[in-house]
A and B are shown apart, each in its own frame.
Chain A
Amino acid sequence: MEMWMKIGYALLLGMMVVLLFPRARHMLKHSPKASGDDWRAVLIPLVLLVLFVIILVKMV
């Protein structure tokens, strides 16, 4: 990749960081607290997702 393209992509991603930062801070402050049961409800599908991606990798 040429240097001007690298700088262009870096600027684009940098703008995303700048614009997402206030939203992330707001979310961190205002997100409700989760119980152990809530975390289990997230971890189970995410573990299945990881296994699924591993299967896909093995397939190609």
Chain B
Amino acid sequence: MNEQHYSISRSPEAILETNKVLKNTYVLLSMTLLFSALMAGVSMAMEVPPAVPLFTMGGAFLLLWLVLPKTANSAAGIGVVFAITGLLGFGLGPMLNAYLQLANGSQIITTALGGTGVIFLGLSGYALTTRRDFSFLGGMLFVGLLVVLIAAIANIFLAIPAMSLTISAAVILIMSGLILFDTSRIIHGGETNYIMATVALYLDIYNIFVHLLHLLGALSGED
């Protein structure tokens, strides 16, 4: 699995197509991240109640699983991506407002935001420059994600702080692995739909931000 192998085995047309998917993915990703941040700002200004994220997450989840696969190959897919990312961004409002109540809340939020940006750019850049195939990570990452989800369900009722921190650390590691996996899938032609690629990378970034915020908040002694 080295660089030479891929440069020999892929045609110039396939490489051009990959570059087009990559460019479109990063453009759409930037726009959805900005839109998501805007919706988070609106939600913060409206001071929406803490129950709202449950409904926005539920709505985004339904769009993600039921609507997006049917619209991903049409222009309507772009609208669905904005709806998903807008809902998820809007759902961040109550949590961000809660952090802002802390003495160093704004510092925690900006550090999490900057940290997420550095992690994404670093890992995506690493996958792009090494051009390695990280598809072997798929099985392990998805099984890890299932384990973390089951642990998270248990911890909703158990409410063990140490378990909550462990889950956040595990999510950051898994989502970082998924950035490598998703970027590598685009590079090697495993994902040719830029709408689906954008949603995958957006979810990686969103989850890293939320869980980095949780870790920083808890370990700064203010959570």
Proximity bits, B143-169, A CB within 8 Å = 1, else 0 = 101100110110011000000000001
Q: Is the CB of B157 within 8 A of A56?
A: no
With A10-B153, A13-B153, A24-B146 as known contacts, state yes or no: A57 contacts B220, CB within 8 Å. Answer: yes
Tell me if B152 and A13 are in contact (CB < 8 A): yes
CB pair B136–A53 under 8 Å, yes or no, is no
Q: How many residues of chain B are within 8 Å of chain A by beta carbon?
A: 51
User: What secondary structure prevails in chain B residues at the interface with A?
Assistant: helix
Interface assignment of B189: CB less than 8 Å from any CB of chain A: no
Collect the chain A residues with CB atoms within 8 Å of residue B118's CB.
52
Say whether B137 faces chain A, with CB atoms less than 8 Å apart.
Answer: yes
Stretch at the interface among B36-44, B71-79, B107-115: B107-115
Is B123 in contact with chain A by the CB < 8 A criterion?
A: yes
Inter-subunit contact B150/A33 (CB<8 Å): no
Q: Contact at A31–B138, with CB atoms within 8 Å?
A: yes
Using CB atoms, name the residue of chain B closest to A45.
B126
User: A13, B145: Cβ atoms under 8 Å?
Assistant: no
Query: Is A24's CB under 8 angstroms from B136's CB?
Result: no
Docked CA distance A60–B107 (Å): 7
Provide the A31-42 mask, 1 if CB < 8 A to any CB of B, else 0: 111110110011
Q: If A10-B157, A45-B126 touch, does A20 touch B149 (CB 8 Å cutoff)?
A: yes
Which residues does B use to contact A, with CB under 8 Å?
1, 50-51, 54, 57-58, 61, 65, 104, 107-108, 111-112, 115, 118-119, 122-123, 126, 130, 132-143, 145-146, 149-150, 152-153, 156-157, 169, 172-173, 176-177, 180, 212, 215-216, 219-220
Q: What are 9 pairs between A and B in contact, CB < 8 Å? A: A13-B153, A17-B146, A27-B139, A28-B139, A32-B135, A38-B134, A42-B177, A46-B176, A46-B177
